[in-house]
Amino acid sequence: MKEVLPVFNSAVSIDCVLFGFDGGELKILLIERNEEPFKDWWALPGNLIGEDESVEQSASRILHELTGLSDIYMEQYYTFGEVNRHPQGRVITVAYYAMLRLGGDKALKPLTSYAKKAQWINVKELPKLGFDHQHIFDKGLEKIKRRIKHLPIAFELLPEKFTLTQVQNVYELILGKKLDKRNFRKKILSFGVLKELNEKQKGVSFRAATLYKFDRRKYAKLFGKEISF
Amino acid sequence: MKEVLPVFNSAVSIDCVLFGFDGGELKILLIERNEEPFKDWWALPGNLIGEDESVEQSASRILHELTGLSDIYMEQYYTFGEVNRHPQGRVITVAYYAMLRLGGDKALKPLTSYAKKAQWINVKELPKLGFDHQHIFDKGLEKIKRRIKHLPIAFELLPEKFTLTQVQNVYELILGKKLDKRNFRKKILSFGVLKELNEKQKGVSFRAATLYKFDRRKYAKLFGKEISF
DNA sequence: ATTACTTAGTGTAAAAAATACACACTATAT
DNA sequence: ATATAGTGTGTATTTTTTACACTAAGTAAT
């Protein structure tokens, strides 16, 4: 027999701030809604959780439905629970940020029906968002600004092989400020989690930079000693 | 007309890790449950949210019911959403840590019926807890270990007037390690958010220490420049 | 093949912050 | 007066952070 208590007292949803870096700009994936409320508005991708999935599984599922990809890096960062944040009733939403390597032109899979389309949009040029999604985004950006100083999340935005300049670009975009090239390289190499490859950047019309990759094994080994950028 | 969508899909609760410092030890307030499930077990104080209160209001209410006090310092830190974390059904819980000045022997208010009693228990000697509350506690402690390095939360645990040794005790208990006295004092005074009082500790049988208080105005002014302990 | 262009890659000195470390002072109790 | 227990203080060393500018390498255009 399935017990009946405790009684459901809310709808719970997930909203995702999915970041992508296309080589020049920091973007997030927004959807244009096809349903009330906020029909035709832009919004963060999100959905109600299923009754048989954990909050985390739900976030994974939503990202999968949106992109067709699994194993997208994501972390929960806050739960928004104002009574009237959803015009149709009580919805508490658990927010995740997520990060994706762009460029391999990942065609987005057909979207779930509540969205007309999805589009990568520069975080500096966000349209007006439905619900309290601007606020959710702001908190998410704030969160990764903090976390990028301690955690190697920048590499989740970069292709497997990347140049140090690309890493620096990601840091500068997230932190919103310029960094000194020499100091940045010194610091990021000093952690010993980047592996220099015997390979150069291709297809550029200037001196090709050395490629590196993030060494997850070494990072795991050093994990106790926390990274501080 | 009240719309009916979206439909409730979960129970949502709040759980609180309420920290207290009694001069020597770091404690949390646990309750002994009077109801199934986990009747007679120790657990974190918590409850279902009301349908007309925000998540934050709900946490405030729970702390108020438990202690009779308002304006307890608290912060949300994580939402636990495993499907089977509650044996009687789907309950997603939003966790808060909170901090309270002890010592002024705050008699705890009569508890809500689901608890037999509440008791302050040393974090180093926690009993077995019901649900996934040990895990929730562990994450909470981890969180404040991080946050105490950036935010002035130690002062929430201390009386209005305190000695530098008391501050150091709080830091040592939360961080779980000894700190150098001279370096600690140098550092904590360098932020300029403590105000030295013309007043000494009383009732001790040795040289009385100078009392200080936390200057919230100055802290607010310097807020951009983040504190780093 | 020369030149122009664009980004890659590198070192050092100065300043600031973190660390390690030990003893005299003072209030009380006996 | 003396024993006791916690208060309060300074300096030298090491480490980390910051500021700063030029040469090297590859491509493209002529």
Domain, as residue range, for A20: 11-147
The answer to whether residues B152 and B214 touch, using CB atoms and an 8 Å cutoff, is yes
Least confident window among A21-35, B29-43, B107-121: B107-121
- For strand D, which residues in window 172-191 of chain A come within 7 Å by CB? 180-183, 186-187
Instruction: Tell whether B17 is covered by a domain.
Output: yes
pLDDT value of position A2: 47
Chain B positions in Cβ-Cβ contact with residue A81 (cut-off 8 Å): 12, 49, 54-56, 58, 94
Residues B138 and B183 reside in one and the same domain: no
The answer on A164 and A140 residing in a single domain is: no
Whether B96 and B25 share a structural domain: yes
Residues with CB under 7 A from strand C: A 163-165, 181-183, 185-186, 204, 206-210; B 180-183, 186-187, 200, 204-208, 228
Strand D close residues, chain B 157-176, CB < 7 angstroms? 163-165
| Cβ(B47)–Cβ(B69) below 8 Å | no
Q: Write out which nucleotides of chain C lie closer than 7 A to a protein Cβ.
A: 5-12, 18-22, 25-29
Regarding predicted confidence, which is higher, A161 or B113? A161
The neighbour count for residue A69, using CB atoms within 10 Å, is 13
Which of A128, A147, A166 is where one domain is finished?
Answer: A147
For the segment A2-11, what is each residue's pLDDT rounded down to a tens digit? 455 789 999 9
Interface test with B, best of A3, A4, A9, A146 (most B CBs within 10 A): A9
Strand D: which nucleotides have any atom within 7 A of a protein Cβ?
4-11, 17-21, 24-28
CA A205 to C1' C5, in angstroms, rounded, equals 10
CA distance linking residue B180 with residue A161, whole number of Å: 44
Express each pLDDT in A181-211 by its tens digit.
999 999 999 999 999 999 999 988 899 999 9
Look at residues B100, B112, B106 and name the one whose alpha carbon lies nearest to residue B170.
B100
Q: Report if residue B228 sits inside a domain.
A: no
Q: Where does residue A31 rank: exposed (0-12), middle (13-18), buried (19+ CB within 10 A)?
A: buried
B76 to chain A, any CB pair closer than 8 A? The answer is yes
A227 within a domain of the structure (yes/no) = no
Beta bridge partners of B29: B120
Q: Do B91 and A4 touch (CB under 8 A)?
A: no
Quick one: B28 and B77 in the same domain?
yes
Tell whether A69 and A36 lie within a shared domain: yes
User: Total structural domains in chain A?
Assistant: 2
The answer on pLDDT for B2 being more than 60 is no
Q: What is the mean pLDDT of chain B?
A: 92
How many other C-beta atoms can be found within 10 angstroms of the C-beta atom of residue A7? 9
Please tell me the distance in Å from A19's CA to the nearest CA on chain B: 21
**Domain final position from B115, B147, B179:** B147
Local structure of residue B176 (DSSP, 8 states): T
Q: What's the confidence (pLDDT) of residue A96?
A: 98
| Of B222, B56, B46, B63, the residue nearest B151 (C-alpha) | B222
CATH of the domain at B192: 1.10.10.10
Q: With left for phi above 0 and alpha for psi between -120 and 50, is residue A123 left, alpha or beta?
A: alpha
- Average pLDDT in the B113-125 region? 92
Q: Which nucleotide is nearest to A190 (CA to C1')?
A: D16
Work out the minimum CA distance from B138 to partner chain A, whole angstroms.
17
Q: What is the pLDDT, as a whole number, of residue B105?
A: 57
B98, B196: one domain: no
pLDDT-derived band at A114 (thresholds 50, 70, 90) equals: confident
8 Å CB contact between B127 and B121: yes
d(CA A115, CA A38): 11
Same domain, B112 and B184: no
Mean pLDDT, range A91-113, rounded to an integer? 83
The CA–C1' separation of B215 and D16, in angstroms, is 30
Helix (H) or strand (E) holding B118: strand B115-122
Test A94 with B79 for CB contact under 8 angstroms.
yes
Residue range A131-182, pLDDT digits in tens: 999 999 999 999 999 999 999 999 999 999 999 999 999 999 999 999 999 9
Please give the distance of CA A217 from its chain centroid, rounded to a whole number.
23
Is A6 part of any domain?
no
Residues 103-132 of A with CB under 7 A from strand D: none
Query: Phi, psi at residue B110, to the nearest 5°?
Result: -50, 135
Residues pairing with B12 in the sheet:
B92
Question: Are residue A123 and residue A207 in the same domain, yes or no?
Answer: no
pLDDT at B229 over 70: no
CA dist., res. B94 & res. A153, Å (int): 25
Q: What is the pLDDT of residues B161-188, one digit of tens each?
A: 999 999 999 999 999 999 999 999 999 9
Indicate whether B180 and B110 sit together in one domain.
Answer: no
Instruction: Compute the distance between CA of residue B163 and CA of residue B208 in angstroms, rounded to an integer.
Output: 9
Do B49 and B31 share a structural domain? Answer: yes
- Let me know whether B141 and B49 are in one domain: yes
Is B1 within a domain?
no
Tokens of B116: 């037999």
| B159 part of a folded domain | yes
Closest CA to B20 of B143, B170, B152, B184: B170
Asked whether residue A201 is assigned to any structural domain, the reply reads yes
Examine the domain organization and report whether B158 and B199 are in the same domain.
Answer: yes
Q: Which of B141, B158, B150, B135 is closest to B214 using CA atoms?
A: B158
Give the CATH number, domain containing residue A58: 3.90.79.10
Q: Does residue A170 fall inside a structural domain?
A: yes
* Mean pLDDT of all residues in B202-229: 84
DSSP secondary structure string for all residues of chain A = ----PSPP-BEEEEEEEEEEE-SS-EEEEEEEE-SSSSTT-EE--EEEPPTTS-HHHHHHHHHHHHHS-S--EEEEEEEE--TTSSTTS-EEEEEEEEEEE-SS--PPPPPPTTEEEEEEEEGGG---BSTTHHHHHHHHHHHHHHHTTTS-THHHHS-SSB-HHHHHHHHHHHHTS---HHHHHHHHHHTS-EEEEEEE--S-SSPPPEEEEE-HHHHHHTTTS----
Among B116, B147, B178, the domain boundary falls at B147
SS3 (DSSP) at B187: helix
Q: Which residue has the higher pLDDT, B160 or A113?
A: B160
Contacts by residues B172-179 (CB-CB < 8 Å, ≥ 24 positions apart): B173/B21, B173/B25, B173/B26, B173/B123, B174/B26, B174/B141, B174/B144, B174/B145, B174/B148, B175/B145, B175/B148, B176/B145
Cα distance between residue A24 and residue A22, in whole Å:
6
Q: Is the model's pLDDT at B107 over the cut of 70? A: no
Establish if B190 touches chain A: CB-CB under 8 angstroms: no
